[in-house]
Amino acid sequence: MKKREVQASVKDERLVKKRRDQMIKGAVTLFIQKGFHRTTTREIAKAAGFSIGTLYEYIRTKEDVLYLVCDSIYDQVSERLQKDLDTNRGTIESLRMGIADYFRVVDEMQDEVLVMYQEVKSLSKDALPYVLKKEIEMVEMFEQIITGCVENKELDLPEAQIKMIAHNIFVQGQMWAFRRWSLKKLYSIEDYINLQTELLFQGIKSPVYNESNV
Amino acid sequence: MKKREVQASVKDERLVKKRRDQMIKGAVTLFIQKGFHRTTTREIAKAAGFSIGTLYEYIRTKEDVLYLVCDSIYDQVSERLQKDLDTNRGTIESLRMGIADYFRVVDEMQDEVLVMYQEVKSLSKDALPYVLKKEIEMVEMFEQIITGCVENKELDLPEAQIKMIAHNIFVQGQMWAFRRWSLKKLYSIEDYINLQTELLFQGIKSPVYNESNV
Amino acid sequence: MKKREVQASVKDERLVKKRRDQMIKGAVTLFIQKGFHRTTTREIAKAAGFSIGTLYEYIRTKEDVLYLVCDSIYDQVSERLQKDLDTNRGTIESLRMGIADYFRVVDEMQDEVLVMYQEVKSLSKDALPYVLKKEIEMVEMFEQIITGCVENKELDLPEAQIKMIAHNIFVQGQMWAFRRWSLKKLYSIEDYINLQTELLFQGIKSPVYNESNV
Amino acid sequence: MKKREVQASVKDERLVKKRRDQMIKGAVTLFIQKGFHRTTTREIAKAAGFSIGTLYEYIRTKEDVLYLVCDSIYDQVSERLQKDLDTNRGTIESLRMGIADYFRVVDEMQDEVLVMYQEVKSLSKDALPYVLKKEIEMVEMFEQIITGCVENKELDLPEAQIKMIAHNIFVQGQMWAFRRWSLKKLYSIEDYINLQTELLFQGIKSPVYNESNV
DNA sequence: GATGAATGAGTCTTCATTCAT
DNA sequence: CATGAATGAAGACTCATTCAT
The whole-angstrom distance between C13's CA and the closest CA on chain D is: 34
> Do C20 and C99 have their domain in common?
no
Identify the three-state secondary structure at position B202.
helix
Residue A179 covered by a domain: yes
**Which residues in B162-174 are b (16+ Cβ under 10 Å) and which e?**
bbbbbbbbbbbbb
The answer to whether residues C30 and C39 touch, using CB atoms and an 8 Å cutoff, is yes
Give, rounded to a whole angstrom, the gap between the first and last alpha carbons of chain A.
54
Kindly give the parts of chain B with pLDDT less than 70: 1, 84, 86-88, 203-214
Q: Does B have 3 or more CB contacts under 8 Å with D?
A: no
D164, D200, D207 member nearest C196 (Cβ):
D164
Shared domain check, D74 and D44: no
User: Cα(C169)–Cα(C135) distance, rounded to whole angstroms?
Assistant: 12
CA-CA-CA-CA torsion sign (C130, C134, C135, C139): positive
Q: Does A188 touch chain B (CB under 8 A)?
A: no
Answer whether B195 sits within 8 Å of A161, measured CB to CB. Answer: yes
Average pLDDT, chain C: 88
**What pLDDT band is residue A213 in, cutting at 50, 70 and 90?**
very low
pLDDT at B213: 42
Whether residue C86 contacts residue C28, with contact meaning beta carbons closer than 8 Å, is answered with: no
Out of D153, D172, D201, whose CB is closest to C204?
D201
Nucleotide nearest to A8 (CA to C1'): E1
A122, A160, A196 ranked by CB distance to B164: nearest: A196
Chain D CB within 8 Å of residue C120 CB = no
* Length B189 CA → E12 C1' (Å): 41
Report the nearest residue to nucleotide E2, CA vs C1'.
Answer: A54
pLDDT at A169: 96
**Which residue has its C-alpha nearest to nucleotide E1's C1'?**
A10
Q: Does C184 touch chain D (CB under 8 A)?
A: no
Q: Decide if pLDDT at C205 tops 70.
A: no
Q: Specify the nucleotide whose C1' lies closest to residue B18 (CA).
A: F5
B183 domain residue, yes or no: yes
Domain assignment present for residue C214? The answer is no
Q: Which nucleotide is nearest to A59 (CA to C1')?
A: F17
| Whether residue B179 sits in one domain with residue B140 | yes
- Chain C nearest CA to D161, separation (Å): 7
Decide if C34 touches D, using CB distance below 8 A.
no
CA separation for the pair C32, C66 (Å, rounded): 12
Q: What is the model's pLDDT at position A79?
A: 85
Are D36 and D136 members of one domain? no
**Residues of C whose CB is below 8 A from D203:** 199-204
The mean per-residue pLDDT over the stretch A43-57 comes to 97
CA-nearest of A163, D128, D150, A182 to B182 is A163
Range of the domain at C12: 8-60
Q: Are residues C108 and C47 in the same domain?
A: no
Interatomic CA distance for residues C162 and C149, integer angstroms: 10
- How confident is the model at residue C204, as a pLDDT? 60
> At C163, is the pLDDT very low, low, confident or very high (cuts 50, 70, 90)?
very high
Q: Specify which residue's alpha carbon is closest to the C1' of nucleotide F5.
A: B10
DSSP-assigned states of every residue in chain C = -PPPPPP-S---HHHHHHHHHHHHHHHHHHHHHHHHHHS-HHHHHHHHTS-HHHHHHH-SSHHHHHHHHHHHHHHHHHHHHHHHHTSSTTSHHHHHHHHHHHHHHHHHTHHHHHHHHHHGGGS-TTTHHHHHHHHHHHHHHHHHHHHHHHHTTS----HHHHHHHHHHHHHHHHHHHHTHHHHTTT--HHHHHHHHHHHHHH----HHHHHHH-
In a shared domain, residues C12 and C113:
no
Say yes or no to pLDDT of A194 above 60. Answer: yes
* pLDDT of amino acid D37: 95
pLDDT tier for residue C209 given thresholds of 50, 70 and 90? very low
pLDDT value, residue B77: 87
Put simply, whether C214 touches D (Cβ < 8 Å) is no
Tell me the C-alpha distance between B135 and D125, whole Å. 45
In chain A, residues with a C-beta closer than 8 Å to the C-beta of B122 are: 35, 37
D53 touches chain C (CB under 8 A): no
* Shortest CA gap D18–chain C (Å): 31
Give me the pLDDT at residue D100, please: 93
Whose CA is closest to D194, among C174, C197, C158, C213?
C158
Q: Are D201 and C203 within 8 A, CB to CB?
A: yes
* Any domain includes B213: no
- C10 vs A80, which has greater pLDDT? C10
Please check whether residues B34 and B110 belong to one and the same domain: no
pLDDT over 90 (residue A94): no
- Residue ending a domain, choose from C32, C60, C88: C60
pLDDT reported for residue B49: 96
Average pLDDT over residues C118-143: 89
Q: Between the CA of B40 and the C1' of E11, what is the distance in angstroms?
A: 7
CA-angle at D25, arms to D19 and D28, nearest 5°: 135
pLDDT grade for C189, boundaries at 50, 70 and 90: very high
Give pLDDT < 70 ranges for chain D.
1, 84, 86-88, 203-214
User: C with D: how many residue pairs have Cβ under 8 Å apart?
Assistant: 116
Q: Does B128 touch chain A (CB under 8 A)?
A: no
CATH number of domain containing D83: 1.10.357
Can you tell me the distance from the alpha carbon of B40 to that of B106, in angstroms, rounded to the nearest whole number?
27
Among C35, C60, C85, the domain-final residue is C60
Asked if the structure places residue D207 within a domain, the reply is no
The alpha carbon torsion through D186, D189, D192, D193 (nearest 10 deg) reads -170
Average pLDDT, chain A: 89
The verdict on B199 touching A (C-beta cutoff 8 Å) is: yes
Residues of A in Cβ contact (< 8 Å) with B196:
164, 168
Chains touching B by CB (3 or more pairs below 8 Å): A
**CA-to-C1' span, B112 to E8 (A):** 36
For residue B7, what is the DSSP state?
Answer: P
- Residues of C within 8 A of D172 (CB-CB) are 168, 171
Cα distance from B151 to chain A (closest Cα, Å)? Answer: 12
Q: Are residues A81 and A12 in the same domain?
A: no
Of A47-51, A205-209, B64-68, the poorest mean pLDDT is in A205-209
**CA atom of D8 to C1′ atom of E17, Å:** 38
Q: Which of A134, A155, A135, A136 is nearest to A145 (CA)?
A: A155
- Residue D91 and residue D174 share a domain: yes
Mean pLDDT over C111-140 rounds to 88
- Above 70 in pLDDT, residue A29? yes
Cα of first residue to Cα of last residue in chain B, in angstroms, is 54
- Do C119 and C91 sit in the same domain of this protein? yes
Residue A80 confidence (pLDDT) above 50 = yes
Mean pLDDT of C140-155: 90
- 3-state DSSP helix/strand/coil % of chain B, to nearest 5: 75, 0, 25
Question: To the nearest whole angstrom, how far is the Cα of A56 from the nearest Cα of chain B?
Answer: 22
- Using alpha carbons only, give the angle B87, B88, B92 rounded to the nearest 5 degrees: 135
Mutate to test the interface with B, among A199, A200, A208, A214 (most CBs of B within 10 A): A199
Provide the pLDDT for residue A212. 41
Let me know if residue B120 belongs to a domain.
Answer: yes
Q: Which chain F nucleotides are covered by protein, judged by CB under 7 A?
A: 1-20
| Contacts with C198 from chain D: Cβ below 8 Å | 161
Residues D94 and D157 in one domain: yes
* Number of domains comprising chain C: 2
In percent, the amount of chain D with pLDDT more than 70 equals 92
Q: What is the CATH number of the domain that holds B29?
A: 1.10.10.60
Does D168 reside within a domain?
A: yes
The answer to whether the CB atoms of B206 and A155 lie below 8 A apart is yes
Give backbone dihedrals phi and psi of A152, rounded to 5 degrees, phi first: -80, 5
Please, which pLDDT band fits residue A139 given cuts at 50, 70 and 90? very high
Burial of D73 (0-12, 13-18, 19+ CB in 10 A): buried
Q: How confident is the model at residue C117 (pLDDT cuts 50, 70, 90)?
A: confident
Name every chain A residue with its beta carbon within 8 A of the beta carbon of B192.
Answer: 164
The per-residue pLDDT for D205 is 55
Distance, Å, C41 CA → F2 C1': 16
Count CB pairs under 8 A between chains A and B. Answer: 119
Q: Which residues contact D54 (CB under 8 A, 6 or more apart)?
A: D19, D45
**Of C39, C60, C81, which residue sits at a domain end?**
C60
Q: pLDDT value at position D208?
A: 47
**Interchain CB contact of C212 with D (< 8 Å):** no
How many Å lie between the alpha carbon of B107 and the closest alpha carbon of chain A? 17
Q: What is the mean pLDDT of residues C195-209?
A: 74
Of B155, B160, B182, the CB nearest to A206: B155
Q: What is the CATH number of the domain that holds A95?
A: 1.10.357.10
User: Do the domain assignments include residue C192?
Assistant: yes
Task: Check whether residue A35 and residue A78 sit in a common domain.
Answer: no
At B92-109, the pLDDT tens digits run 888 998 999 999 999 999
Alpha helices in A39-158 (DSSP H): 41-48, 52-58, 62-85, 92-108, 110-119, 128-151
B164, B170, B211: best to mutate for the A interface, most A CBs within 10 A: B164
What is the total residue count of chain A? 214
